Amino acid sequence: MKKQDITFGIHAVEAVLKHSPERVIELWVLLGRDDKRLMPILESAAEYGVSVQYAARKVLDDKSGGGQHQGVLARVKAVKQLNDKDLTALLDKIEVENTETPFLLILDGVTDPHNLGACLRNADAAGVHGVIVPRDNSVGLTPTVSKVACGAAEVVPLFQVTNLARTMKSLQDKGVWIVGAAGEAEHNLYKADLKGSLAIAMGAEDKGLRRLTREGCDSLVSIPMTGSVSSLNVSVASGVCLFEAVRQRLS
């Protein structure tokens, strides 16, 4: 496991300072940048005793791997990778507290960090308790994912599980209903019951849900498409599905 990592972008750096300031080792800021958007970050760094290094743009470009750092990046202690046991602990906690019903997002083989980051942002906005991905053939928490997530990566747990089909079965054993999104499904998303303990499963960018994942779902639904486009990007589709569940839960 990595001991250190890089987080870049104003929202991502601001989020780690807000939620996990103890992880921040040092900040690197673009030389000459002192505008209002950056001031809260510099003030938080001063509050927590984080050292600030000023550097030329090329230095920040190199450190961020060419990412859109917006003039600020942080060297941080790597976050603990969450696994199946952590997911079980979360569900047990929700059951004990008995104040909410589980609401999860399963992403089957999403390999594009921009899509995972956008899905994490959707999940945070929708109040999802956690996002589940397979450990293999899926992107994890990279600096680009954190940047695109705009802070959501700091608050939405990402569980990387060894065997997705087995994890889905354990969710069902705990009373979680799994609804998979599939373009060819006969059932309409807007006619599905999404109010109870729920996990929404979304497929990869190109292939959709894998066979075992599809077979492990309790039901499959499709998003009605009336235009010439046959499918949606996984981050857009996840937003549509998650917020239909939110709508139902609020009604």
> Which amino acids are annotated as binding site for S-adenosyl-L-methionine, given as ranges?
203, 223, 232
Binding residues: 203, 223, 232
**Which residues are 161's β-sheet partners?**
134
CA distances from 67 to 16, 79, 148 (A): 18, 20, 10
| Tokens read off for 147 | 């940047």
d(CA 14, CA 6): 13
Spatial separation of the C-alpha atoms in residues 246 and 248, rounded to whole Å: 5
Do the strands 198-202 and 72-77 form a parallel or antiparallel pair, or are they unpaired? unpaired
